[in-house]
Structure 1
Amino acid sequence: MSEFDYDLFVIGGGSGGTRAARVAAGEAGARVGLAEESRYGGTCVIRGCVPKKLMVFASEYGDVAEDARGYGWTLERGSFDWPGFRSHLNTELDRLEQVYRNLLAGSGVETFDARARLRDAHTVELSTGEVKTAKHILLATGGRPVRPDLPNAEMGLVSDDIFGLDTLPKNILIVGGGYIACEFACILHGLGVEVTQYYRGAQILRGFDEEARGLIADAMCSRGIDLHTGTDIIEIGHPADDPGSTGTNMSSPPASEGGAPPASPNRQGPIRIKTSSGQDKVFDAVFFATGRAPNTADMSLEEAGVRLGRGGKVEVDAYSQSSVPSIYAIGDVTNRVNLTPVAIREGMAFVETVFKGNATPVDHDLIPSAVFTQPEFGTVGMTEEEAAEQEEVEVYCTSFRPMQTAFIGRPDRVLMKLIVSKETRRVMGCHIVAPGAGEMIQLAGIAVKMGATKEDFDRTCAVHPTMSEEIVTMRKPVRSG
């Protein structure tokens, strides 16, 4: 009889944690427990990828009537029913959460709807008062959106709040320039919200290919998003809280009895902001997309010996093992590559290593990803800038108006780009900005991961007429160095 209640106890019921729990129990025969304090499915299913992508789909229908008229159809644009869509969305999320619960139960995983904290290297304490022991503990608690360190920042929305709004604001300020900020700028604009976006940097989508991010910024502006780079907010408050008026100073939020912050901050306007350039503006809502942080607070991790890094991330090795040998961590809580498919792969590698006797390091190289702006952005491998710093490269690139929208006079442009090593001829990076780029990059990612050369791409026959055929028909580099 084992000295532990479980072979594995997982803290977190998101995509990575549930996959690890299911495989350990179902394939490796381990006794597995799992605790989740919120909803099963985690950020991706409940507050991230899934509801966001459904909102992307919804936002793309607004232009259908106008585009169809260019193709001879008689259609009129209607209005968007946010409450109806949100109700349907919640039904779908409920269904998916139940799927996760059923999969865990079907694999023999014992689940606890409770918050878990560590007592020591082999013991967890649940918010229900129960105490469980396990030979191995897996931290899969994910991450959360954070607001900036600014007085009254609680008045602003974060990504978790968007899906639960009773009504859509007439206008909104989005603060941030990363993929979440840009995706929601496009989504909300497509749903009929007047969108202003402030980003303190020189260009949105920092860290992505320079040429691609420039095209996306131009496309967002041409669609009507009021994008301001080099701009940040320094104050937020109610319109009556103008420091020059008799209202409450913006830097001193009102307190309830006992000095506590207001119990229910007003997150829908009017909200007044002041920018770093001195402008004062009023918006119906402010949405902060200014970063995320690992969920490691109030879990007694450091007391148990788990070493935390910058921002509270769990420090792990190539096998996802923490500084405590019996404790592992996967997914966003480690802040390595914060993508759902990566968390799932990390969970699978953990099971291979710990329960199947097959030491498997996590492969974080050449991961394809997509940004669901309009147009979409698909990318795998190095940017032109990263590759050129490493070795001499050739850049193959084309930008053009695609047939479908050029026919009806829309100015939309797409981009196809390959970064090629001069020495080995391997494709080091592939970047696509186009409708459906996420679908395209998944397939291109296979070739790049396999080590395909530019000549391998050249030998592949084009599918005509398509946008993606340009990936295999670019013969001359536009620049090298």
Structure 2
Amino acid sequence: MTFDYDLFVIGGGSGGVRAARVAAATGATVALAEESRYGGTCVIRGCVPKKLMVFASEFSVEMQTAQAYGWTVHAGGFDWPAFRGKLHAELDRLEGVYRKLLKDSGVETFDVRARLSDAHTVTLSTGESYTAKHILIATGGTPIRPDIPGAERGIVSDDIFNLDTLPRTILVVGGGYIACEFACILNGLGVAVTQYYRGAQILRGFDDEARGLVSEDMISNGIDVKLGTNVQSMTPGDSGYIVTPTNGDEKCFDQVFFATGRRPQTEDLGLEDLGVGLGRNGQIEVNEYSQTAVPSIYAIGDVTDRVNLTPVAIREGMAFVETVFKGNPTPVDHDLIPTAIFTQPEIGTVGLSEEAARDIEPVEIYCTAFKPMKSAFAGDTGRVMMKLVVSQATRRVLGCHIVAPGAGEMIQMAGIAIKMGATKEDFDRVCAVHPTMSEELVTMKTPVRAG
């Protein structure tokens, strides 16, 4: 059978674009359809604009620190419209880069919605249909609102970058990394932030000691964190929204921001009719080679709900090309992936939490918390934490958890050692870089506990 393309990619995010480009470099004919903006969640609605907002929000503390170090600082308030304009210009530039990369790679692009008609046919919303030997779905995920009265009046993470003005007060609903990151960002930009989370502690799934320290620092930085609390309803008020929580303490907020989860974007793709398996959250079920139950159809990235991180989607795209177009079957490695949560302070983490490791085997815990030199000199009472989870049997470092400014940068380097199978003694053999925060990772000699 003759096909219009060797590969048709649905979704122009980081994973889909990388897979399309690399496949085209092998000589394959490739097309890609994207109904929104090129760059996907990370570039347009996630990592990139979020990190730029993190940078902006940190200057309020940096100016206070500068004064403590003897600088005379004259600063006005934060100019949200000016920042937002530069932010949008940067996102436009990055989208242009993605488009150019595809064009220069010889990938044909369609700026429309696409769905599958059969195992080898993609139909565009404009009516045209194209056939492809292989189809790759990389449509990502989307925020969801909770099923409560009035939730449609709130905003989600996709909306936060487009606000005309910053609210004076905001309620952030949720306790995951998106909720906590934006609570810290908005607090740093001068917004009075309240955060409701229904659980007993924020950042469920991360190391208990690390998330406890972040929670303490968020509260000491002025965020009103209410644990064991959820929203029952929200209604319009005279100057915002009246929110009724489960604890009965009704309050009014200028804005309500729901960060209560994301779901894979699999609606109206025609998947069920073709026999592509979907999980409980709507995710596309794939094997270790990102292949669905229909042999010609593959899926990568957040739409598979495996590890929802941009670098993972890119690696999945590369493994797909190795498998399908280079004849080198390459399973995707989802083990020991370093990651960072850009709260203030940041969390950097790789491997097992103390709690998860204890459930598997006996471990030793090496941990220290202290006031870092820079902020302690300025009178800041906040602490940072360095933690290693070590197997008693093999001495391998099973997990590393850092709570500190710049934790994301540190964990990238620690992740290399841990991925290589470093033992606690390997860490000990490394000479400390002094004076730094991260030197504590190689100077902790005595475990604080075992279990």
Query: 2 CA distance for matches of 1:228 and 1:86?
Result: 30
CA distances 1:279-298 after superposition (whole Å, capped 9, x unpaired): 21110000000000000001
Match of 1:192, SS state, is coil
Amino acid at match of 2:317: G
Query: 2 CA distance for matches of 1:174 and 1:55?
Result: 16
Query: 1 CA distance for matches of 2:377 and 2:248?
Result: 44
Query: 1 CA distance for matches of 2:75 and 2:242?
Result: 33
Query: Does residue 97 of structure 1 match 2:95?
Result: yes
Amino acid at match of 2:390: V
Cα RMSD of the aligned pairs, angstroms, is 0.7
Contact preservation (8 Å) 2:167, 2:254: yes
Amino acid at match of 2:287: D
Query: Does residue 470 of structure 1 match 2:440?
Result: yes
Query: Does residue 371 of structure 1 match 2:346?
Result: no
Query: 2 CA distance for matches of 1:103 and 1:277?
Result: 52
Which residue among 240, 264, 274 is the counterpart of 1:294?
Answer: 264
TM-score by length of structure 2 reads: 0.99
Listed as ranges, the matches of 1:42-191 within 5 Å are 42-191=40-189
Alignment match, 2:320? 350
Alignment match, 2:354? 384
Alignment match, 2:16? 17
Amino acid at match of 2:122: V
CA distances 1:115-136 after superposition (whole Å, capped 9, x unpaired): 0011000001001111010000
CA distances 1:384-404 after superposition (whole Å, capped 9, x unpaired): 000011000000000000000
CA distances 1:111-168 after superposition (whole Å, capped 9, x unpaired): 0000001100000100111101000000000000000011221101000000000000
Contact preservation (8 Å) 2:149, 2:232: no
User: Which piece of structure 1 moves more, 150-159 or 363-372?
Assistant: 150-159
Query: Does residue 450 of structure 1 match 2:420?
Result: yes
CA distances 1:25-49 after superposition (whole Å, capped 9, x unpaired): 01x1110000000000000000000
Query: 1 CA distance for matches of 2:253 and 2:142?
Result: 25
Alignment match, 1:3? 2
Query: 1 CA distance for matches of 2:46 and 2:334?
Result: 21
Match of 2:368, SS state, is strand
**1:105 Cα offset (Å):** 0.6
**1:335 Cα offset (Å):** 0.2
Contact preservation (8 Å) 1:66, 1:77: no
Structure 2: which 5+ residue stretches go unaligned? none
Q: How many residues align?
A: 451
Contact preservation (8 Å) 2:181, 2:342: yes
Q: Once superposed, which parts of structure 1, at least 4 consecutive aligned residues long, lie more than 3 Å away? A: none
**1:76 Cα offset (Å):** 2.7
Query: 1 CA distance for matches of 2:109 and 2:297?
Result: 19
Amino acid at match of 2:58: E
CA distances 1:191-213 after superposition (whole Å, capped 9, x unpaired): 00000000000000000000000
**1:232 Cα offset (Å):** 0.3
Query: 2 CA distance for matches of 1:64 and 1:455?
Result: 37
Alignment match, 2:387? 417
Alignment match, 1:221? 219
Match of 2:316, SS state, is helix
**1:65 Cα offset (Å):** 2.2
Alignment match, 1:192? 190
Contact preservation (8 Å) 1:62, 1:77: no
Query: 2 CA distance for matches of 1:404 and 1:61?
Result: 15
Match of 1:83, SS state, is helix
Query: Does residue 317 of structure 1 match 2:287?
Result: yes
**1:64 Cα offset (Å):** 2.3
Query: 2 CA distance for matches of 1:476 and 1:78?
Result: 48
**1:409 Cα offset (Å):** 1.1
Query: 2 CA distance for matches of 1:300 and 1:20?
Result: 22
Query: 2 CA distance for matches of 1:182 and 1:35?
Result: 33
Amino acid at match of 2:340: A
Query: 2 CA distance for matches of 1:7 and 1:408?
Result: 60
Alignment match, 1:244? none
Amino acid at match of 2:280: R
Which residue among 229, 232, 238 is the counterpart of 2:230?
Answer: 232
Match of 1:297, SS state, is coil
Query: 1 CA distance for matches of 2:159 and 2:236?
Result: 19
Contact preservation (8 Å) 1:143, 1:293: yes
Query: 2 CA distance for matches of 1:139 and 1:206?
Result: 29
TM-score by length of structure 1 reads: 0.93
Which residue among 200, 203, 212 is the counterpart of 1:202?
Answer: 200
Match of 1:106, SS state, is helix
Listed as ranges, the matches of 1:247-286 within 5 Å are 270-286=240-256
Match of 1:452, SS state, is coil
**1:324 Cα offset (Å):** 0.4
Query: 2 CA distance for matches of 1:478 and 1:468?
Result: 18
Query: 1 CA distance for matches of 2:143 and 2:444?
Result: 41
Query: 1 CA distance for matches of 2:63 and 2:41?
Result: 34
Match of 2:159, SS state, is helix
